[in-house]
Every structure is written in C-alpha cells, then in structure tokens.
Amino acid sequence: MSATRQHATPADLAPLARAALGPGRALTAVRRLRGGSKKGVYRLALDDGTTAVAYLWSAGEDYWDAGPSDLRDPFSHGTGLDLLTAAHDRLTAAGVRTPRLLHVDATHTHLPADAAIVEDVTGGSLEEALERDPQAAPALMERLAEMLAALHAQDAPAFGKVALVDNGGVSYGDSCEQRVTEGALRSIEQAAALEPRVAAAHDELADKVRALAAEVRPRNRSHTLIHGELGPDHVLLTADGHPALIDIEGLLYFDVEHEHVFLEIRFGPHYDALRVPDLDPDRMRLYRLAMHLSLVAGPLTLVQGDFPEPEPMRAIAEGNLLRALSLLRSAS
C-alpha cells in the first residue's frame, strides 16, 4: 500500500451520515482519529452540535495490509463489521457498556467499504483521565473492575472469537494454551527477522516458551468472555465518568489469564485494582512471555509499512523486548 493513502473526506462521509442520522442534520466537519491501524475511525460533527463516530473497513484504512482472515483462528486479524456487530450484541446482552451501534452498511451503498456509525462517547479515554487526575484514579479503576467482573462472568464451552463461537463454530486447536504457545513461537520467528537481539536469543526464547507450556496443566472448565486487548486507551468514559469499551472486534472466549497479562502490562501501577484471585500461575507465566513477544513482533511488522506514527510502535516493541529478554532468566 502506498504511503499516500486516501482517507475519507466530508463529501465521502456525508451520504453515510445522512442515512444513519437522518436528513434533518447536516455534516459540518470530519476528523480522522489517531491510533487506528486496522480500520478508519472518524468523528462526525453535525450542524445541531451533536457528534457521532464512523468506522470504515477497507484496504486503504488497514495499515497491516492483512487481507481476509480466518475466523477459526482466535488470534487472526481481529477487525471487520461482522466482528463488531457480534461483539456489540454480546456485550450489550451482558450489560457491558460499549458505544451504541446506530447504523451499519455492509452493502457499500454509500462508500466503497463496510461501514458503521456509533455513538460518540464524549468523556475522553481512561488513559487520559488517569494521567490528568491521579486523585480520580481509584474511583475510575473501581468502575472498570466492576465492568470487568460483569464481562468475565460470561462464558462459553468453546474458545474463540464471539462471532464464531456464538454461531456454533469451532476454532483451530485443542486448547487455549496450545494456541498461545504456537502464537508465541510464530512471534519469535517474525521478530527475529526484524530485530537482531531476538535473532540472537531465538533458540533460548523458543526453549523458554516450550518449557513454560510444559508446566501448564489441562483445564476442564468453560472459557471466559474477554476483550483481548484491554488497555486504558480502549476504555472511553461517558459524560458521567462510567467506562465504555471500544476496539471490541477482538472479543473472544478464552482463558481469563490472557486478559490479565495484558491488563498487567498496560495498566502498570493501576493493575492492582483489577487483580483477581485464583488465576493459574503457570498460565500467567506462559501467557505473559507470549504477550510480550507478540507486542514485539506486531509493532515491528507494522512499522515496516506506511503507518503514520511509527515511533510509538517502536517504543512498544522496545519495552516489550526488554521484558521478554528479562523473563528468560526469571522463574516467575
């Protein structure tokens, strides 16, 4: 994909906005929001002072240039209108707040892309709030912990993406730990081709992954509903300060430990508010290393292309590489 990607303009989005929000309101401004790498996210301003958010899925909006993905792979490219609608409906049924879905268009009637219009949750991100007002952090984190308790109370007998499992589908693989182990070994291969320090530690990292996997005992219980990539940037706040989950297309049933290693990495000192008892320590060790490896391989792969903000991605890769290498000598 060329570095000169053409993103949607107000003229492009006006017909979609009219269909979604009615002919009585005119689109006055459009802003593409930062950070989106798999889909285009645009804030729409209307002449009555209200706003909404448009999601667009197209090759031009996907900086991974990933193409179609296999729904049977729990870790396949987690994006698409079908994944969004399935995740939205599952979260809504569970009483977990996410931006309300106002309009979907899979017919490409208004744009040459799958599209959706959702509510604009206007209180900013949890990440911004934690940085801006540390004194408010305990109350905000308590509300998020309550939301996660509701999310993680949902389960299913099979693991995999919600859009697959809730329709009776079956994922590849025999267990969550098998899929995580295979993914970690792939991450090592991908990262080794891009980063000499991973290449130098290739065998040691692979041996560590296999050793941690060997410690995980089979589990005979249902699989937990998890977000999958839940950092403070993927939580918006409503006007009255309640959390709403975004970037929900990766919603899946899986081991809850997978969620907690990501929460631990992304929330840092705030993670204590989200900590729960009875997590499997062997799974936590395997999944923690696998997550760090994924957060090396993914960002390094993304910046090989034309992603417009490469430096934050390189910083993510660097921090997670240092943590992964430190785990080689760690027993925990």
Give the DSSP letter string of 119-143.
E---S-BHHHHHHH-GGGHHHHHHH
Question: How many domains would you assign to the chain?
Answer: 2
**pLDDT tens column, 5-61:** 788 999 999 999 999 999 999 999 999 998 678 899 999 999 999 999 999 998 888
Q: Are 299 and 316 in contact (CB under 8 A)?
A: yes
Together in a domain, 144 and 219: yes
Looking at every residue in the chain, the average pLDDT score rounds to: 94
| Residue from 83, 90, 29 nearest 54 by CA | 29
Q: Which of 119, 135, 156 is the last residue of a domain?
A: 119
Together in a domain, 113 and 138: no
Q: Which domain holds residue 177?
A: 126-327
Q: Which of 119, 151, 170 is the last residue of a domain?
A: 119
Residue with the bigger pLDDT between 48 and 63: it is 48
Q: What residues does 243 pair with on adjacent strands?
A: 237
pLDDT for residue 331 is more than 90: no
Query: Can you give the pLDDT at residue 35?
Result: 67
Query: Can you give the pLDDT at residue 325?
Result: 97
**pLDDT tens column, 194-214:** 999 999 999 999 999 999 999
Query: Can you give the pLDDT at residue 63?
Result: 86
Chain centroid to Cα 292, Å, comes to: 15
Together in a domain, 79 and 169: no
Q: Which of 94, 119, 144 is the last residue of a domain?
A: 119
Give the confidence band of 1 by pLDDT, cuts at 50, 70, 90: very low
Tokens linked to 319: 């921090």
Give the confidence band of 4 by pLDDT, cuts at 50, 70, 90: low
Q: What residues does 32 pair with on adjacent strands?
A: 42
CA–CA dist 99, 92 (Å, integer)? 10
CA angle 13, 18, 22 (to 5 degrees): 155
Tokens linked to 92: 């809504």
Residue 163 lies in a domain: yes
| Residue from 238, 210, 289, 201 nearest 122 by CA | 238
Together in a domain, 82 and 169: no
Together in a domain, 289 and 220: yes
Give the confidence band of 2 by pLDDT, cuts at 50, 70, 90: very low
Together in a domain, 170 and 280: yes
Residue with the bigger pLDDT between 2 and 27: it is 27
Together in a domain, 194 and 247: yes
**pLDDT tens column, 158-197:** 999 999 999 999 999 999 999 999 999 999 999 999 999 9
Residue 299 lies in a domain: yes
Contacts of 62 (CB under 8 A, 6+ apart): 37, 38, 39, 79
CA–CA dist 207, 2 (Å, integer)? 39
Query: Can you give the pLDDT at residue 60?
Result: 85
**pLDDT tens column, 123-149:** 999 999 999 999 999 999 999 999 999
Residue 5 lies in a domain: no
* Rg of the chain taking only CA atoms, in angstroms: 20
Together in a domain, 149 and 251: yes
Residue 149 lies in a domain: yes
- Give the least confident one: 57-71, 84-98, 181-195, 276-290: 57-71
